[in-house]
Structure 1
Amino acid sequence: MLAVFPVLLALGCSRPLTSEALALQYEPPSGVRFTSEEAGPPAVAHFEGGLELRSVPGTALTLETPAEEVFRLAGVPLPGKAVQQARGTLPAGAVARYEFLKGNVRTLVYVLPRPDRFVLITFSASEQDYGPRSSRVERSLSTLKLLR
């Protein structure tokens, strides 16, 4: 039994990511593994299950910057029609939060503006899986720490 316990513990845990390219530390939800990183620019960290963190340099945004402009600057298409928009705060700073819908895919988006860049966090899932999985992603954002 003791030999099985460490294996089960390892399977249920995620490992924290420290990325110099993205200039951040982040621990994804339990069971969500980091899969790859692109040095960029923009630097991108990919995780299993539709989670992505992107650090876009050289652009100082405000929380009022329209989502269309944020995605254009990040070099990615808008993930659908905005169905929810709010502003809030994470331990890492003030954020704009959006939810988008395209077909049966819902996408959660957080935009964290910084003076020299912005961090774009996206999570996409089918509507049937979205609720519990997006809640886990949102809780994990409390672990996000910017390195600069």
Structure 2
Amino acid sequence: MRPPTPWLLPLLLALGCSRPVTSEALGLQYEPPSGVSFASEEAGPPAVAHFEGGLELRSVPGPELPLETPPEEVFRLAGVPLPGKALQQARGTLPAGAVARYEFLKGNVRTLAYVLPRPDRFVLVTFSAPESDYRPRSSRVERSLSTLKLLR
């Protein structure tokens, strides 16, 4: 067996690592899961950060949203269609604050959504993927949410 090529390990590490994304428009910093790259940003309102692979973050201005707000209203306020039939709803906490968590199904596509209310806005995190590979990918997205830091 021959030794690994010396340039291979740094290349693999670079490809597998993500970098934190800081957005003044969204008022946050976030490090997406390894291998998921930032794609683009819209200044809004609402401000939107698009990542590869079905991940999106929105900062929606407005009064503080109660955690009990129905998902239909959350998505209406965010200006996006409801991503299917709600399968699960829960409340929890991330380092950035209290959240509402939802899972939706439409056809063979599942969507994970987190709502993080703030006094002057709410942050909506959505991740959509085919049901066949949703579980491992959504788990990585959920773990990455611990890196979400609000800048205002």
Residue of structure 2 equivalent to 1:147: 151
Within a 5 Å distance, the mapping from 1:26-65 to structure 2 comes to 26-65=30-69
1:78 aligns with 2:98: no
CA positional deviation for 1:44: 0.3
RMSD of aligned residue pairs (Cα, Å): 0.8
How many residues in Structure 1 have an aligned counterpart in Structure 2? 148
1:104-130 CA-partner distances (Å, limit 9, x unpaired): 100000000000000000000011110
CA–CA distance in structure 1, aligned partners of residues 114 and 8 of structure 2 = 38
1:3 aligns with 2:10: no
CA positional deviation for 1:5: 2.6
1:95 aligns with 2:99: yes
Give, as a single letter, the amino acid of the residue that structure 1 aligns with 2:47.
A
Larger Rg: 2
CA positional deviation for 1:8: 1.6
Structure 2: unaligned runs, 5 residues or longer: none
CA–CA distance in structure 1, aligned partners of residues 123 and 85 of structure 2 = 21
Identity %: 86
Structure 1: unaligned runs, 5 residues or longer: none
The TM-score with structure 2 as length reference comes to: 0.95
Q: Which runs of 4+ in 1 moved over 4 A?
A: none
